[in-house]
Amino acid sequence: MDYIRPDEYSTTNAPSSGLLCYNISMRKRPSFDEIYMEVVDVIAKRATCLRRSVGAVITIDRRILSHGYNGVPPGHEHCTDTGKCLKDLAGTEEYKICVHAEQNAICQCAKRGLAVEGATLYVNADVCITCAKLMVSSGIIRCVVRRDHKGNSDGIELLRKSGVQVDEWPNV
Ligand SMILES: [Zn+2]
Ligand SMILES: [Zn+2]
């Protein structure tokens, strides 16, 4: 990242009036991709799984439509409540109760009647095959993903095969 972070703003050399405005106008503005890849990391702090913390953001026209983090459906115990990851307790993939960040972000749109066709989804972990299917079927056209390599490439391959533009974000 070659832009100046907010905590690096300096007001020491600014003129005595309009201090902060002067400095903001001098810095290089981050792109929306850079901003939203920071947002997914903040959203991921709300995750309730003990195994990993994932955040997702859905945008349309460069504005946030929805966000999600990994947890369980409303009304169920979280991994953080039981002290053991529910994925392990479930035993098999079919019965695991976990809802992924991407799924929660899409479900929130379903709940509120918001169309995601033509949207971009940002996420900070490998996309699984189920999330990839939902993204393709709901009309999401671009995915910006920072891989954590805790999953595999199946989801990303499915996205690409289905015509979704996948941009892999570098790990820093
Ligand atoms: Zn868990
Ligand atoms: Zn998933």
Position 42 scores a pLDDT of 98
For residue 77, the ligand closest to its alpha carbon is 1
Position 82 scores a pLDDT of 87
pLDDT of residue 165 exceeding 80: yes
Strand pairing category for 120-123 and 55-60: antiparallel
pLDDT of residue 14 exceeding 50: no
Q: What value, to the nearest 5°, has the Cα angle with vertex 85 and ends 84 and 86? A: 110
CB 22, CB 13: distance < 8 Å: no
Q: What is the Cα–Cα distance from 48 to 163, expressed in whole angstroms?
A: 32
For residue 125, the ligand closest to its alpha carbon is 2
Q: What is the edge-to-edge ordering of all strands in the sheet holding 165-168?
A: 63-69, 55-60, 120-123, 142-145, 165-168
Q: Cα of 154 to ligand 2 centre, how many Å?
A: 11
Indicate yes or no: pTM above 0.85: no
Average pLDDT for residues 142-163, to the nearest whole number?
A: 96
Helix, strand, or coil (residue 143): strand
For residue 156, the ligand closest to its alpha carbon is 2
pLDDT of residue 35 exceeding 60: yes
Dihedral (CA of 106, 103, 67, 107) sign: positive
Which of 25-34, 36-45, 59-68, 123-132 bottoms out in mean pLDDT, i.e. has the lowest?
25-34
- In this prediction, residue 89 has a pLDDT band, given cuts at 50, 70 and 90, of confident
pLDDT of residue 39 exceeding 60: yes
Q: Cα of 12 to ligand 2 centre, how many Å?
A: 47
